[in-house]
Every structure is written in structure tokens, then in C-alpha cells.
């Protein structure tokens, strides 16, 4: 992944910056230039809350190349309390945590690296919370 | 708009075709379709392909295929919509004939997937999802469909066995399509349930394979079909396309394929037909759960009833609405960009009565449903024997 591309995504991956439509109030994560609810084009940047719940999940047993050494790992679609839905890995899970409705909190984690000596890319993973 | 007919079809076999290149595959399918139609000229060509750049390192397929088919200097256009590239190619050819811009159009679609290793193929396929917000986090295509399966099981009570029944049925059909199918071996529910885990709850026998292949069709105005072609023509009675969010997580529902519903509704409206008028269908079973979702989205079954329907044999040959008589993506194979046209080849042959031991008796009206990614794009065609 190019350095510029990784850098471009920092505001979302590191700081949870969402764009909130000034017309209809919908939260977008990642940010968009056009609101998909009302086609508004003016937004306020807000920091998205880090808590949400699992809508669906899976355990990846055949991983893509950058995640070769990590399988099996859990992935979920999470609905954030502020509204946006995201796809994220689930970290620090036990089998009973993988269920629809489970509360999670996003934490800053290592996601992948460009080979043995390239840059490490960080982002969020969902951790089950009580 | 002019009415449009299909007057010739052809396709390669599906599989790991080591001896054939990307261009060889396209040209073989194109020549078969041209000979099937008996035409001696083409006005224009459409090339459907998902990712020749990543699979083979080759772009600019319009010119390449026109060149190797010996058809220069006619116009040739490559179109792409991930695994719906073939469906979008059909739609592009349809619009070109319907508009009056061209009379005889070759729609060919191709994918050469086995010149790269499994990792690279997986990477190329993953580009059909949202690379920045899905792929970055490690989710695979089977993983995304697995999450749709988990949601469908939770909401409707769809079972593991019902999903396995899709694979069993499609392999039984593929066993009657040995000349083309990549995996024409019959399998059992037990063998699906005991196969290697890929992404819970999906196992390897829930997944379509990595496939080389190509398929082609010749389109012309319906009122010229009898004069130009030599076989019974098939009319493109209805056609619809639609889109949905690229990322699965952004969908209104994780258990419905909204783009397929949009495409199907438009196709039925244009054709003046309804789901109960369809005698045979090819749907996009890239994973077993996908066939269940697709048969619900095109209106064959109510939401949540696709699983019980396949387990009860309603979609088998001889059932109420036979689905994937070719063996589907699961058994026949899934050369991703070519699949949408391969589905049309199967339905055209069914409507002509040429399908041999997998023939659906009396089939006059058929449907194809092709989709890209996790259902972010879809094309549905309704075909009828003229």
C-alpha cells in the first residue's frame, strides 16, 4: 500500500472521524462527499463513538495473503451506536462472544504489514465488552 | 427500441485449461457462437471480463479480441462489473442492437484465472469488494458470504443442511453436463458438511471454484433473426440491472440482495412476465447461500423460504422451478467475468430443447441472474423462445 494512501486513511482508521450530514443528520463512516440518504453535500466532521454491537460474524479459516499467519481470525459487521456500520476484525474473543447483538468497543490495533520489512498498517479491531 | 434476439451461442468447457490462453478462450467461444448462428459478419463486439489485468497482466481486451478473431477494424468494447461483467456485456450488446446502432453484435465474455496462484487469485477476486473498508481488515469473499449466511440463519432459521442441498443439487445437474462442467462429480450432504472449513459456516464444498472459461452469444434485431440465423431464435424479452452499496456492511438488510431485486423487477416489468411464468433459471450460486438469497430476490420464493425450497427439491430438474440446470457456478465452474454469458448459453439451449439429459421439458421462458461482488451490481435477463 502506498504511503500516501495509508496516510490518507489515518483520520478514519486512527481517529474515527465521521462526516455528519448537515441536511439530514446521517453519520457516515468513512466520510463521503455526497450523503447517500439525502444527497446533501455539506458535512460536519465529528469523532464517532467507539462502541457498537455485532450484526453478523464469521471466522476466517482460509486467509488472504497479508493475514496468512493469523488464521483463524474472527470478522464481524458491527453497527456503531452512532449509526454507521463497519466491517472489522474481532480481537480477544472467546467462542461465546461471537453472536449477534454482542457489545463491542473499537481498539487501536495492528492490522497488516507490507511484507517483512515494509510499513505496518494500524487501524481498529472490535473487542467484546461486558 | 427494437426487439432483440439471440441467434447463436457457444462456450468453452470450464476448468483448469492449462493449454489455452485468455485470447484462445475468447476466440473459441466466439467462433462457436458465430458458427451456431451461421452469420458471416459482425458489426460490433463486446468483451466482458472482470480482471484480466490482475489474472493475466493484460488489459485492452476489445482490440485484442477483435484482432485475434480476425475482425479488425470493427468496434470492440470491454465492459466490467466484477462477477457480473458477463451480464453487463449482454446488456451492452442488447442496447447496441435495440438502439439501432448495430445489427449483428457478438457478446463474448472470458476469464483466465489459473495463470496465477491461489493467493493472487484470491486477491484479484477481493477487488470486487470494498478494498479500503472491507478487504483492508482481512475479510475474504467467502467471509462476506458467510456473514450473509449467519444473518440469514439467525433471521429465518435457514439450516446448514439446506445450504448443502444447493451444492448437492448443482453437482447432480453438473453430472449431466460433463462436456462443460469443471466438477461433474455427484456429492452428498455429508460430504459438504464434512469438507474443509473456509469461513464459518461455509465449507469448501459451499464455494464455487477458480475456473478458466469463456462464453459468447450473437445478438441481432428480432425481425432479422429468421433471415440471419439458422436455429430457433430466442428473444431477450426483458432485461434489468441494478446496484447497491459496494460494502456489505452498508446495506439496509444483510439478508436481502436489493440490487438483484431491482434488476429482477425491471426485467419482469419489461417482459410483462412474473416469477411463476419462468420455466428454468440460472442464478449466481458463487456460494450455496448465494443461490438461496438469489432465488428469493428474483421472487421464486418468499424471503426465508429459499432454503426449505431447495431441500424439498423444488429447484431440482423436474421440480417446480429448476435452477442451475448447467450445474451452476458451483459444479459447472465460475470463470468470473464469463459467468453472465455462460448462464445465457445454458438458458438459450434449454429454450431450444438442446439440453439433452438435463433438458427441462417444455421450457419456453427462462431467466438468468448474474451479480457482482456481494451483490453490489446485478443483471437479470428474461429470455423466451420465438
Asked if B91 and B30 touch (Cβ cutoff 8 Å), the reply is no
A82 vs A29: CA distance, rounded Å: 10
Residue in the structure block whose three cell numbers are 492449462 = B18
Q: Which residue of A has its CA nearest to B146?
A: A58
CB distance from A70 to chain B under 8 Å?
yes
CB distance from B249 to chain A under 8 Å?
yes
| Cell numbers found for residue B17 | 485449461
Q: Are strands B365-372 and B280-282 parallel, antiparallel or unpaired?
A: parallel
- Per-residue pLDDT of A87-119, as tens digits, reads 999 999 999 999 999 999 999 999 999 988 889
CB distance from A107 to chain B under 8 Å?
no
Residue B10 forms beta bridges with which residues? Answer: B216
Q: Distance between alpha carbon B111 and the CA centroid of its chain, in Å?
A: 12
Taking only Cα atoms into account, the Rg of chain B, rounded to an integer number of angstroms, comes to 19
Contact A60 B143 (CB under 8 A): yes
Say which of A55, A57, A61 has its CB closest to residue B198: A61
What was the pLDDT predicted at A40?
Answer: 98
B101 vs B215: CA distance, rounded Å: 23
Q: ipTM of the predicted structure?
A: 0.97
3-state secondary structure chain A: CCHHHHHHCHHHHHHCEEEEECCCCCEECCCCCCCCCCCCCCEEEEECCCEEEEEEEEEECCCCHHHCCCCCEEEEEEEECCCCEEEEEECCCCHHHCCCCCEEEEEEEEEEECCCCCCEEEEEEEEECC
Asked if B283 and B293 touch (Cβ cutoff 8 Å), the reply is no
What was the pLDDT predicted at B232?
Answer: 96
What was the pLDDT predicted at A65?
Answer: 85
What was the pLDDT predicted at B122?
Answer: 87
Residue B280, sorted as left (phi over 0), alpha (psi -120 to 50) or beta, turns out to be beta
Taking contacts as CB-CB distances below 8 angstroms, the residues of chain A near B136 are 111-112, 121, 123
The torsion angles phi and psi of A63, rounded to 5 degrees, stand at -90, 160
Asked if B147 and A56 touch (Cβ cutoff 8 Å), the reply is yes
| Cell numbers found for residue A118 | 515494509
What was the pLDDT predicted at A116?
Answer: 84
What secondary structure letter does DSSP report for B81? Answer: B
B355 vs B190: CA distance, rounded Å: 29
A82 vs A49: CA distance, rounded Å: 6
B31 vs B10: CA distance, rounded Å: 8
| Cell numbers found for residue B350 | 434449454
Q: Could you tell me which residues come within 8 angstroms of residue A1 by beta carbon, excluding any fewer than 6 positions away?
A: A114, A119, A121
Cis status, amide bond into B130, omega within 30 of 0: no
* Catalytic positions of B: 83, 334
What secondary structure letter does DSSP report for B205? Answer: G
What was the pLDDT predicted at B123?
Answer: 86
Contact B139 A75 (CB under 8 A): yes
- Give chain B's largest Cα–Cα span: 56
Residue B141, sorted as left (phi over 0), alpha (psi -120 to 50) or beta, turns out to be alpha
A125 vs A110: CA distance, rounded Å: 9
- Per-residue pLDDT of B135-176, as tens digits, reads 999 999 999 999 999 999 999 999 999 999 999 999 999 999
Say which of B132, B250, B254 has its CB closest to residue A9: B132
B6 vs B222: CA distance, rounded Å: 8
What was the pLDDT predicted at B247?
Answer: 98
What was the pLDDT predicted at A68?
Answer: 87
Residue B108 forms beta bridges with which residues? Answer: B47, B216
Asked if B62 and B77 touch (Cβ cutoff 8 Å), the reply is yes
| E strand or H helix at B378 | strand B377-385
Contact B199 A63 (CB under 8 A): no
Answer whether 0.95 is exceeded by the pTM.
Answer: yes
Contact A30 B132 (CB under 8 A): yes
Number of CB pairs, chain A paired with chain B, less than 8 A apart: 94
Per-residue pLDDT band at A2 (split at 50, 70, 90): confident
- Per-residue pLDDT of A14-71, as tens digits, reads 999 999 999 999 999 999 999 999 999 999 999 999 999 999 999 999 998 889 899 9
Each of the 386 residues of chain B gets a pLDDT tens digit; together they read: 999 999 999 999 999 999 999 999 999 999 999 999 999 999 999 999 999 999 999 999 999 999 999 999 999 999 999 999 999 999 999 999 999 999 999 999 999 999 999 888 988 999 999 999 999 999 999 999 999 999 999 999 999 999 999 999 999 999 999 999 999 999 999 999 999 999 999 999 999 999 999 999 999 999 999 999 999 999 999 999 999 999 999 999 999 999 999 999 999 999 999 999 999 999 999 999 999 999 999 999 999 999 999 999 999 999 999 999 999 999 999 999 999 999 999 999 999 999 999 999 999 999 999 999 999 999 999 999 99
The CA distance from A122 to the nearest CA of chain B, in Å, is: 10
Taking contacts as CB-CB distances below 8 angstroms, the residues of chain B near A59 are 199-200
Inter-CA distances, B41 with B26, B63, B218, Å: 17, 17, 11
Contact A66 B138 (CB under 8 A): yes
- Per-residue pLDDT of B232-264, as tens digits, reads 999 999 999 999 999 999 999 999 999 999 999
Which of B11, B4, B1 minimizes the C-alpha distance to B341? B11
The CA distance from A71 to the nearest CA of chain B, in Å, is: 10
Amino acid at each position: 500500500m502506498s504511503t500516501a494512501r495509508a496516510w490518507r486513511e489515518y483520520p478514519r482508521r486512527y481517529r474515527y472521524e465521521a462526516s455528519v450530514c448537515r441536511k439530514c443528520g446521517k453519520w457516515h463512516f468513512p466520510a463521503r462527499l455526497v450523503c447517500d440518504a439525502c444527497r446533501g453535500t455539506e458535512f460536519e466532521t465529528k469523532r464517532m463513538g467507539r462502541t457498537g454491537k455485532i450484526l453478523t460474524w464469521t471466522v476466517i479459516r482460509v486467509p488472504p495473503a497479508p493475514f496468512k499467519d493469523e488464521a483463524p481470525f474472527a470478522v464481524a459487521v458491527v453497527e456503531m451506536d452512532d449509526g454507521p456500520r463497519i466491517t472489522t476484525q474481532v480481537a480477544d474473543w472467546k467462542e461465546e462472544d461471537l453472536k449477534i447483538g454482542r457489545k463491542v468497543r473499537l481498539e487501536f490495533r495492528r492490522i497488516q504489514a507490507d511484507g517483512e520489512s515494509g510499513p505496518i498498517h494500524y487501524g481498529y479491531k472490535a473487542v467484546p465488552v461486558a | 427500441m427494437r426487439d432483440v434476439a439471440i441467434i447463436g451461442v457457444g462456450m468453452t468447457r470450464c476448468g483448469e485449461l492449462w493449454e489455452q490462453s485468455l485470447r484462445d478462450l475468447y476466440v473459441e467461444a466466439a467462433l462457436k457462437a458465430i458458427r451456431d448462428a451461421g452469420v458471416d459478419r459482425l458489426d460490433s463486439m463486446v468483451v466482458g471480463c472482470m480482471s484480466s489485468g490482475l489474472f493475466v497482466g493484460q488489459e485492452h481486451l476489445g482490440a485484442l479480441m477483435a484482432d485475434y478473431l480476425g475482425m479488425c477494424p470493427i468496434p470492440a468494447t470491454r465492459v466490467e462489473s466484477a462477477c457480473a461483467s458477463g451480464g453487463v456485456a449482454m446488456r451492452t450488446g442488447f442496447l447496441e442492437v435495440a438502439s439501432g446502432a448495430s445489427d449483428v453484435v457478438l457478446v463474448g465474455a472470458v476469464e483466465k484465472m489459473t495463470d496465477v496462484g491461489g493467493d493472487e487469485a484470491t486477491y484479484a477476486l477481493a477487488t470486487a469488494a470494498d478494498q479500503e473498508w472491507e478487504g483492508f481488515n482481512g475479510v475474504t469473499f467467502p467471509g462476506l458470504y458467510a456473514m450473509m449466511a449467519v444473518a440469514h440463519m439467525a433471521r429465518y432459521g435457514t439450516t446448514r443442511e439446506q445450504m448443502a442441498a444447493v451444492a448437492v443439487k448443482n453437482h447432480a445437474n453438473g453430472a449431466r453436463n460433463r462436456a462443460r462442467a469443471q466438477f461433474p462429480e455427484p456429492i452428498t450432504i455429508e460430504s459438504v458438511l464434512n469438507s474443509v472449513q473456509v469461513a464459518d459456516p461455509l465449507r469448501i464444498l459451499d464455494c464455487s471454484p477458480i475456473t478458466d472459461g469463456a462464453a459468447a452469444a450473437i445478438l441481432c434485431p428480432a425481425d432479422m433473426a429468421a433471415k440471419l440465423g439458422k436455429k430457433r431464435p430466442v428473444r431477450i424479452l426483458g432485461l434489468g440491472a441494478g446496484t447497491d452499496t459496494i460494502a456489505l456492511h452498508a446495506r439496509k438488510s444483510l439478508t436481502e440482495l436489493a440490487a438483484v431485486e431491482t434488476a429482477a423487477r425491471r426485467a419482469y416489468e419489461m417482459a410483462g412476465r412474473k416469477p411463476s411464468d419462468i420455466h428454468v433459471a440460472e442464478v449466481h450460486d458463487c456460494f450455496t447461500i448465494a443461490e438461496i438469497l438469489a432465488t428469493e430476490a428474483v421472487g421464486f420464493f418468499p424471503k426465508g423460504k429459499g432454503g426449505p425450497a431447495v431441500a424439498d427439491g423444488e429447484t431440482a430438474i423436474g421440480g417446480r422451478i429448476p435452477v442451475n440446470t448447467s450445474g451452476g457456478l458451483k459444479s459447472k465452474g465460475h470463470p468470473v467475468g464469463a459467468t453472465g454469458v455462460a448462464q445465457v448459453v445454458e438458458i438459450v439451449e434449454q429454450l431450444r430443447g438442446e439440453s439433452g439429459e438435463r433438458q427441462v421439458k417444455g421450457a419456453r421462458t427462462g431467466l438468468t441472474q448474474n451479480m457482482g461482488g456481494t451483490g453490489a451490481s446485478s443483471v437479470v435477463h428474461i429470455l423466451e423462445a420465438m
